[in-house]
Amino acid sequence: MIVDRVSLSDVYVAQKRVKPFVLNTPLAKSFWLSELTQAEVWLKLENLQNTRSFKLRGALNALSWAREKGTVKVYSSSIGNHALAMAQAALFTEREVTICVPESVSPKKLKELDRYSVGIIKHGDEPSLTEHFARRLATEKKGLYVSPYNNPEVICGQGTVALEMFERVPKLSTIICAVGGGGLIGGIGTVAKAINPNCRVVGVVPSACPNMQRAVQQGRITPMLQEYTLAESISGNIEEDSITFPLVQELVDEWVAIDEADIASTMFEFLDQEGMLIEGAAACAVAAIAKKVINFKPREKVAVIVCGGNVNRNDWREVVVDHLVGASRSA
């Protein structure tokens, strides 16, 4: 593997660290998506994970590693899901965690963070600015900075999602995953290609901010103007030296970009068909199947990562209003 400490064996080490604290979330067959595609589609329901996203896995592995190294002070940055994960992981590992969040962070997520004994600092109007500030703070305070994605322990922790999937369905041939900074798909791709080199790994991005897809196409990471997207948890620019970039270049076979209308309608369809409210990033990945953007072989075993269920109230209101307007126009 081209990145040190990101290998299948490292993911197994991560699994031992996190297993006592994370849920082995269901890998449930979707009759809706299976009938739609004629493939065998499975949903990895990380929206049911503790803190309602996959992020706990990476945060817990990173803080467990810090505890093993005797590091007490830890700093991080996040627009939401990683922050909640770090706060929960701090509770499990007894680390002193300070989390930097953008000024635009949702009040709902701040209220949830207030339940934990972590420091919270607001800084910056764009996630990349918050990341730079948190890194500088960690250096000044002689602490450890844990990126939401640009960290080998975080990547390996996220890779435990794939270990659980292959344990449940060993012959998976395609895995579909939403991509922001690349930590999740980097970990999943590491496991998938080690277990089955022919497994197809598909990265899905919102059309409004296809940051990693654009970087792969250009061969380098460059800042982009960030537009609004319902998939807010995978928006924001990527650090220029991120170790996820070479991982993604090596491991991701195909890219799909999903527009906002399809993300919104898929959130509603998932609630209607599967009975669960999922966030925009998760709907982005599901939409790649629901909107028939990807071709599958009959009865092919496909897994899609339902990465989270933390939904901003205003975003959900927008989805509902758009659905009602669309329904009235078609009536």
Tens of pLDDT, residue by residue over 44-74, are: 999 999 999 999 999 999 999 999 999 999 9
pTM: 0.94
pLDDT at 270: 97
According to DSSP, residue 53 is labeled B
Percent of the chain's residues with pLDDT above 90: 80
The strand pairing partners of 43, in sequence order, are: 28, 304
Q: Does pLDDT of 98 surpass 50?
A: yes
CATH of 8-53+155-327 among 3.40.225.10, 3.40.50.300, 3.40.50.1100, 3.40.640.10: 3.40.50.1100
Cα 86 to Cα 23: distance, rounded to the nearest angstrom: 16
Give residue-wise pLDDT tens across range 252-276. Answer: 999 999 999 999 999 999 999 999 9
**Higher pLDDT among residues 315 and 172, named by residue:** 172
Cβ-contact 130, 112 below 8 angstroms: no
Q: Does pLDDT of 1 surpass 50?
A: no
Cβ-contact 175, 294 below 8 angstroms: no
**Helix orientation angle between 260-274 and 280-290, rounded to the nearest 10 degrees:** 90
Cβ-contact 47, 306 below 8 angstroms: yes
**Higher pLDDT among residues 132 and 216, named by residue:** 216
Give residue-wise pLDDT tens across range 114-169. Answer: 899 999 999 988 777 888 899 999 999 999 999 999 999 999 999 999 999 999 99
Alpha-carbon torsion 52, 108, 211, 37, what sign?
positive
Cβ-contact 25, 308 below 8 angstroms: no
Strand order in 73-77's β-sheet? 119-122, 96-101, 73-77, 144-146
Region for residue 182 given its phi and psi (left: phi exceeds 0; alpha: psi -120 to 50; beta: otherwise): left
Q: Does pLDDT of 327 surpass 60?
A: no
Strand order in 301-306's β-sheet? 27-29, 40-45, 301-306, 174-178, 200-206, 254-258
Q: Which of 98-107, 154-163, 179-188 shows the lowest per-residue confidence on average (mean pLDDT)?
A: 98-107
The domain spans of the chain are 8-53+155-327, 55-146
CB contact set of 109 (below 8 Å; sequence gap of 6+): 80, 83, 84, 101, 310
pLDDT band at 290 (very low <50, low <70, confident <90, very high): very high
CATH number of 55-146: 3.40.50.1100
Domains 8-53+155-327 and 55-146 share a fold: yes
CA dist 189 to 7, 42, 127, 217, Å? 10, 17, 25, 18
